[in-house]
RNA sequence: GGGUCGCUAGCUCAGCGGUAGAGCAUUCGGCUUUUAACCGACUGGUCCCGGGUUCGAAUCCCGGGCGACCCA
């Protein structure tokens, strides 16, 4: 059974699925994995007929702990230690820092068809909805300390309380330490040496911890959220999930203080992005937004679904990985179309088609006539080629409107890929000015073929793709050569590679004189070299 | 130093107690012309290593190696 369906099958009704994110900067594509995993669990629950909710929390009361390299250091350094919702936005498009970066992330949600109920921690705190939990955890600070010690071996001082006040004097939340609680107010100090990355101002005093004046440490805050919102399923990245890690601590706090079972949990692996070479040099790479700009939403969902949560996904936007993603997706589309109509209702799909099903934004698989991305990448690089005309000409069946929609989408992907991600040696380069080095590898048989071509091509009546293609074949036949061997010699002469777009078409875009001259040059280079060797 | 996850065909992965699988790549064959959008076939694996449990282990347990990541 597909992994998400298995979870759904084992679950009771009325599940509340939750995920959350600290909006501290641009979001890496790896963060999308959690989003999609939770979305698919939610969809699987609905699919299994178990009504459920899907929540997404924005942890915007967390402190700004570093200024990302792409922001103005001088402008933001003074806000280090501030709650993210109190840091100004990098530009006018948002009210504050947290909303700015979350906005970018939510844009990707929408793109992926992920529709959770989004809530902001600032609202939970300021509205007082977390007040009772704050009181409970402050009163039971000793139990929280115990949990920290037992689970993560982290010893807290006896007067340590699980709470941080936003300093009334300097506005920082990361630097304050609470050391007493009288039931309505806490005593806190904004310590200069509380962290090694920002200094507190030294202010101290009694103040109410309620209604947004401060926050719980996030492991404890996590527990408060679980209980307040009735969360029953929440996975976490492997980083938080290990023994003694934050999830483990939160679970212990939940059991010890609230005496309740924590939500169902399982760790998920990361997405590794190789190919850092191209991303760093060209300034494009691996933010969620950038990957979303390259891959259509279904493909991006598919990327994260076809691999089980506990297996690492290795995605690099290089030729091999990118074209394979599309090919694999199309293979499932074909498989779906091959099903007999009576299994079409999605409930009865074979397991290997489930990733395709859950990759759809609206839960409906719409088949189309696949066009291989690698082919489009090739065609786009042939000079003077009208790609849509070419697609039409090559299709065995007339393309529907939806087929064209997909085709156009894929053309954009191919263009984007060529512009932003392709390495030089992955691009098709026509050697217009010089003979490619590689022609030295040509065999005698291939040389004779090319020599023969200088004559047969010179005689071609109509310099046009079909006729040229025919001539290439006919000449190979004349010399009783294997077709692939013959074609390779042509590609090597013009592209320096063994493969290329349909050779007749390729030549038709070039001038006849140039083609014949080039072939003569190639023959020349090789015969003079042969002469040298002979001496 | 401790921990988590992974290690199966060249590559990406499935299988998770009962005769080792898929796709892609490779190779070969066909192709009076889909040669970077054809068709067909064949290859290809001490399932990381070593022990143990079992009638039987890729699958469970222990130890080790390597990799990714986390904590200290």
Q: Which residue has the tokens 């040059």?
A: A521
Average pLDDT over residues A97-105: 92
Nucleotide closest in space to A374 (CA vs C1') = B36
Query: Which bases along strand B come within 7 Å of a protein CB atom?
Result: 2-6, 12-15, 23-24, 29-38, 67-71
Look at A357 and A335; give whichever has higher pLDDT. Answer: A357
Asked if the Cβ of residue A440 lies within 7 A of any atom of strand B, the reply is no
Q: Give pLDDT, residue A283.
A: 41
Q: Give pLDDT, residue A282.
A: 40
Asked if the Cβ of residue A18 lies within 7 A of any atom of strand B, the reply is no
How far is it, in rounded angstroms, from Cα A527 to Cα A530?
A: 5
CA of A429 to C1' of B27 (A): 28
Q: Give pLDDT, residue A346.
A: 54
Average pLDDT over residues A315-336: 82
Q: Give pLDDT, residue A274.
A: 54
CA of A311 to C1' of B60 (A): 21
**Smallest CA–C1' distance to B25, residue:** A320
Q: How confident is the model at residue A277 (pLDDT cuts 50, 70, 90)?
A: very low
* Six-digit token string for A110: 């929408």
Query: Which window residues (407-436, chain A) lie with Cβ within 7 Å of strand B?
Result: 428
CA of A129 to C1' of B65 (A): 52
Contacts of A231 (CB under 8 A, 6+ apart): A16, A17, A18, A55, A225, A263
Residue A447 scores a pLDDT above 80:
yes
Query: Which window residues (501-530, chain A) lie with Cβ within 7 Å of strand B?
Result: 501-503
Q: Give pLDDT, residue A131.
A: 96
pTM: 0.85
- Assembly ipTM: 0.81
Residue A171 scores a pLDDT above 50:
yes
Asked if the Cβ of residue A75 lies within 7 A of any atom of strand B, the reply is no
Asked if the Cβ of residue A217 lies within 7 A of any atom of strand B, the reply is no
Nucleotide closest in space to A246 (CA vs C1') = B71
CA dihedral (A496, A501, A504, A507) positive or negative = negative
Residue A250 scores a pLDDT above 50:
yes
Min mean pLDDT across A128-142, A266-280, A464-478, A481-495 is at A266-280
Q: Which residue has the tokens 């929280």?
A: A144
**Interval A503-520: pLDDT, tens:** 887 787 777 888 888 888
């Amino acid at each position: 059974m597909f992994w998400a369906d298995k979870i759904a099958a084992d679950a009771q009704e009325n599940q509340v699925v939750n995920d959350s994110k600290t909006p501290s900067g641009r979001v890496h594509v790896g963060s999308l994995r959690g989003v999609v995993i939770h979305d698919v669990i939610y969809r699987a629950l609905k699919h299994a007929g178990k009504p459920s909710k899907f929540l997404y929390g924005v942890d915007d009361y967390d402190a700004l702990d570093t200024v990302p390299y792409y922001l103005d250091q001088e402008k933001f350094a003074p806000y280090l230690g501030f709650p993210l919702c109190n840091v100004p936005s990098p530009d006018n498009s948002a009210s504050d820092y947290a909303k700015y970066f979350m906005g970018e992330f939510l844009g990707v949600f929408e793109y992926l068809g992920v529709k959770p109920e989004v809530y902001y921690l600032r609202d939970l705190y300021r509205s007082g909805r977390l007040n009772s939990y704050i009181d409970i955890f402050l009163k039971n600070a000793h139990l929280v300390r115990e949990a920290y010690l037992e689970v993560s071996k982290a010893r807290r001082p006896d007067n340590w309380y699980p709470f941080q006040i936003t300093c009334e004097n300097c506005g920082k939340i990361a630097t304050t330490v609470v050391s007493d609680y009288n039931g309505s107010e806490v005593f806190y100090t904004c310590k200069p040496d509380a962290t090694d990355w920002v200094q507190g101002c030294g202010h101290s005093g009694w103040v109410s911890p309620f209604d947004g004046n401060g926050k719980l440490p996030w492991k404890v805050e996590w527990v408060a959220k679980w209980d307040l919102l009735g969360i029953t399923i929440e996975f976490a990245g492997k980083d938080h999930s290990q023994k003694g890690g934050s999830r483990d601590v939160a679970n212990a706090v939940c059991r010890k203080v609230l005496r309740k079972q924590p939500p169902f949990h399982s760790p998920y692996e990361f997405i590794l992005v190789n190919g850092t070479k191209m991303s760093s040099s060209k300034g494009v790479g691996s933010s969620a937004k950038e990957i979303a700009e390259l891959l259509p939403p279904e493909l991006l969902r598919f990327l994260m679904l076809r691999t089980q949560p506990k297996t690492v996904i290795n995605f690099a936007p290089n030729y091999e990985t990118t074209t394979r993603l599309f090919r694999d997706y199309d293979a499932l589309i074909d498989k779906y179309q091959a099903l007999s109509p009576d299994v079409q209702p999605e409930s009865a799909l074979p397991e290997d088609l489930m990733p395709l099903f859950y990759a759809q934004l609206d839960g409906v698989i719409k088949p189309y006539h696949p066009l291989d991305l690698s082919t489009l990448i090739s065609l786009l690089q042939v000079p003077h080629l009208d790609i849509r005309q070419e697609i039409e000409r090559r299709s065995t069946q007339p393309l529907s409107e939806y087929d064209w929609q997909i085709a156009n989408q894929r053309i954009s992907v191919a263009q984007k890929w060529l512009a932003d991600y392709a390495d030089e040696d992955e691009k098709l380069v026509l050697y217009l000015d010089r003979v490619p080095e590689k022609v030295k590898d040509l065999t005698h048989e291939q040389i004779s073929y090319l020599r023969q071509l200088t004559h047969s091509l010179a005689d071609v009546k109509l310099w046009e793709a079909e006729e040229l293609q025919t001539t290439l074949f006919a000449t190979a036949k004349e010399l009783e050569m294997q077709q692939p061997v013959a074609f390779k010699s042509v590609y090597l002469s013009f592209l320096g590679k063994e493969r290329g777009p349909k050779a007749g078409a390729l030549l038709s875009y070039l001038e006849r004189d140039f083609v014949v001259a080039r072939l003569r040059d190639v023959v020349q280079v090789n015969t003079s070299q042969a002469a040298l060797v002979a001496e």
